[in-house]
Amino acid sequence: MHHDIKEILYTADDISARIQELGAMITRDYQGKSILLVGILKGAVRFMNDLKRTIDLPLCCDMMELSSYGDRTVSSGTATILKDATLDIEGREVLIVEDIIDTGVTLQRVLEHLGSRRPATLKTCALLDKPARRKVAIKPDYCGFIIPDVFVVGYGLDYAQAFRELPYIGVLKVACD
């Protein structure tokens, strides 16, 4: 285990098993349709890559990037769009793919933004849900794991851009704000 990690919450095997289940649910729910996955950079890249392999439907992928954290562990409370999705969204089955929902500000911003482009449906899939610090009433349609109020890294999630490469999801030892 990495020396900055206090505890492993989910191993690579736990994550991969849960993603298989999410992919099966999504495949069942969208049967006969094709999906447009919109991943939120940078944290959801790894999750989206693994998730899309478990979905047995035609799909396309797009990406958006928002900023809210800077190099801290507490959200700034606003989410600015740095990079927009580029594919046409109107009339599509859109599924937003996010690494983690904390305050909910980021996902709310993405929902408003993409919702205004008249998708046929707009749903959300988050690998992790941290409901303790929620500021906006928002719940993912698909959720990997519900976690307590701890700062986690690994499997795409970072602290000041580090730790994304860890194969597991772990709790950071010192969170310095």
Known catalytic residues?
A: 102
CA 26, CA 119: separation in Å to the nearest integer? 17
Q: Which is nearer to ligand IMP, 46 or 130 (CB)?
A: 130
106 lines the binding site for ligand IMP (CB under 6 A) = yes
User: Closest approach of Cβ 138 to Mg ion, in Å?
Assistant: 14
Nearest to 109 by CA among 127, 92, 120, 124: 124
Q: Which does 151 bind (CB under 5 to 8 A by kind): ligand IMP, Mg ion, none?
A: ligand IMP
Contact code string over 26-65 relative to ligand IMP, x by CB under 6 A: --------------x--x----------------------
Q: Kindly provide the b/e burial profile for residues 80-90, where b requires at least 16 CB atoms within 10 angstroms of the residue's own CB.
A: eeeeebeeebe
67 lines the binding site for ligand IMP (CB under 6 A) = no
Helix (H) or strand (E) holding 61: strand 59-67
Mark the segment that binds ligand IMP (CB under 6 A) among 2-10, 12-20, 22-30, 94-102. Answer: 94-102
CA 133, CA 148: separation in Å to the nearest integer? 10
Strand 169-172 and strand 152-153: the pairing is antiparallel
Q: Token digits for 31?
A: 């049967």
Among positions 50, 62, 93, 99, the unique one binding Mg ion when judged by CB under 5 A: 99
Q: Which is nearer to ligand IMP, 79 or 114 (CB)?
A: 79
3-state SS, one letter per residue, for 124-169: EEEEEECHHHCCCCCCCCEEEEECCCCCEEECCECECCECCCCCCE
Mark the segment that binds ligand IMP (CB under 6 A) among 3-11, 15-23, 49-57, 148-156. Answer: 148-156
Q: Which residues bind ligand IMP (CB under 6 A)?
A: 40, 43, 68-69, 75, 79, 98-107, 130, 151-153, 157
